[in-house]
Each structure stands twice: as C-alpha cells, then as structure tokens.
C-alpha cells in the first residue's frame, strides 16, 4: 500500500511537471534562444564530461576491492555508524528499491518535454547535448567517488538482507547515491531550461515547476534510504552533486 502511495505521488509530480511545462512553453515561450549554442562553447564541457566519464570507468574497472566475507559481516557493528545514519541499517525492501529504479528510468523521459514546443524543439539537439554533458559529468563523479570511498551500504549491517547481496561487489559502493544525483541532475536541467526559455512565466507556474523538479529527486532519495540501499548522508550528498552539476 505504501509503495502505491509513493509511486502515485511520483506520477502526480511528473504529471504536474508535464502540465506546467506545456502550459508555460505554450503561453510564455521566447522566440529567441536564451543560450549561446556553438561548438566553441560546448567543446570544454564535452571534454570535461568525457574525461570524467572515462575516469569513472577506469577507476571502476581497476578498483579491486574485495566483497565482504561472511566472517567480516559478523564483525560489523551498526553502533559504529553515526547516529544520523544508523537508522537506515534497519531498513530492507526490494519493492521500494524497484520503485526507486522506476523513478530513475522515468527521469530519462522528462527531457522529451523539450519536443513539445517550437522554442525548445528547434534547439533540441543542443539541449540534448547539454543533457548528455550533465549526465556524463554526474556519472563520472559518481563512479569515481564510489570506488575511492568504498563506503559499505547500510544493508551489510542488516541480517534481513540476503547474504548474497551483503557479500556482493556492490556492497561497498554506498557513497554517494547515484539514483539521487542522476534524478536531481535531470530534474534541475529541465527546470533551468524551461525557466530560461520562459522569462515571463507567471510566479505560480514557476513555483510549481521548481517544486516538481525539487520533489522528484527527494522521493527517489527517500526510497533509496527506505530500501536500505543508502544512508541519509549518501542521498544528501547525491542530491547536492546532481543539482550542482
């Protein structure tokens, strides 16, 4: 029942976001692009995103951290975790984990809103490139930091989680949350683009638009903590990185 409520809320956020985007783009669209697109502007970002993406892949492939053994799991003590994060070690839900995956995949569809109006449709190629740059920078940072920090996930402390999961390779990749950073990055790209193309947008529409953009990754972050995939500090950091990117 709780999963249905969460997914219904997420669907509501997406629907409101779509309605607001369509209404704002149709009624307040700017015939001229607010951005200076061109290869001389994009090349530094392409180089940076490609470099970070490659670095993330290399670190991920060369990082030889061994997964936990059963004996090591028995020696773990959740009381060694700071009080703010400790509560996450008692959570475990595959259903909520699946729900967060749905939101992550769903965030890939949000930029399609740019095709619904002529102002952004004519710049869609460039906007898609910007979106890919943001995704690559975020993905490269996420992979690099995860493999450098090797922070245990909260479920390694939880005996309710399956032993094959607790001893899996992914069990040392908690910091920071990739689901949260990715959905935040995509949501903020859409929020920025729609706002920039519609400088005369009414205040209530702008508040609604940014509320949807902010809430979507918050829901994703909540699901990641409740499913025992991440600590609260993981999703807070992920949100900050994604939004900043």
Encoding tokens for residue 215? 């809430």
Could you tell me which residues come within 8 angstroms of residue 219 by beta carbon, excluding any fewer than 6 positions away?
A: 6, 9, 10, 13, 103
Taking Cα atoms as reference points, which of 80, 57, 237, 78 lies closest to residue 156?
78
Average pLDDT over residues 161-177: 94
CA dihedral 93, 98, 104, 105 (to 10 degrees): 180
Is the distance from CB of 13 to CB of 218 less than 8 angstroms? no
Residue 1: pLDDT above 60? no
Query: Is residue 228's pLDDT more than 80?
Result: yes
Domains of the chain by residue range: 2-27+67-244
The pLDDT of 19-43, averaged and rounded, is: 67
Over residues 205-214, the pLDDT tens digits come to 889 989 999 9
Q: Which residue has the higher pLDDT, 62 or 72?
A: 72
In the block, residue with structure tokens 């949000």: 110
The chain-wide mean pLDDT, for the chain, equals 86
CB neighbour list of residue 148: distance below 8 Å, 6 or more residues apart:
59
Question: Which pLDDT value is given to residue 76?
Answer: 93
The predicted model gives 177-185 an average pLDDT of 96
> Does residue 175 carry a pLDDT above 70?
yes
- Token digits for 218? 């918050």
Three-state SS at 115 = helix
pLDDT in tens, 125-162: 999 999 999 999 999 999 999 989 999 999 999 999 99
Which of 114-123, 163-172, 231-240 has the largest mean confidence? Answer: 231-240
Task: Report the C-alpha gap between 242 and 230 in whole angstroms.
Answer: 16
Q: Is the pLDDT of residue 57 over 80?
A: yes
Res. 30: pLDDT tops 90 = no
Confidence of residue 64 (pLDDT cuts 50, 70, 90): confident
Q: Say which range, 53-67, 93-107, 127-141, has the weakest mean pLDDT.
A: 53-67
What integer pLDDT is reported at residue 102 of this predicted model? 92
pLDDT computed for residue 28 by the predictor: 44
The pLDDT confidence band at residue 29, using thresholds 50, 70 and 90, is very low
DSSP 66: P
């Amino acid at each position: 029942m709780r999963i249905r409520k969460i997914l219904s809320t997420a669907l509501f956020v997406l629907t409101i976001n779509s309605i607001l985007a369509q209404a704002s783009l149709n009624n307040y669209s700017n015939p001229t692009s607010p951005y200076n697109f061109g290869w001389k502007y994009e090349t530094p970002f392409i180089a940076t995103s490609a470099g970070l993406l490659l670095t993330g892949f290399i670190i991920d492939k060369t990082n030889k951290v061994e997964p936990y053994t059963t004996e090591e799991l028995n020696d773990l003590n959740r009381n060694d975790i700071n009080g703010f994060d400790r509560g996450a070690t008692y959570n475990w839900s595959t259903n909520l984990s699946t729900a967060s995956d749905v939101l992550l995949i769903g965030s890939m569809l949000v930029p399609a809103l740019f095709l619904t109006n002529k102002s952004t449709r004519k710049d869609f190629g460039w906007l898609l490139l910007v979106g890919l740059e943001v995704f690559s920078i975020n993905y490269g940072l996420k992979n690099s930091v995860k493999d450098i920090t090797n922070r245990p996930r909260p479920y390694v402390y939880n005996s309710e989680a399956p032993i094959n999961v607790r001893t899996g390779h992914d069990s040392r990749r908690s910091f920071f949350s990739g689901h949260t950073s990715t959905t935040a990055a995509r949501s903020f790209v859409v929020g920025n683009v729609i706002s920039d193309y519609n400088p005369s947008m009414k205040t209530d529409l702008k508040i609604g638009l940014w509320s949807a953009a902010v809430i979507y990754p918050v829901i994703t972050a909540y699901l990641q903590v409740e499913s025992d995939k991440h600590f609260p500090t993981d999703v807070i950091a992920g949100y900050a990185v994604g939004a900043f990117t």
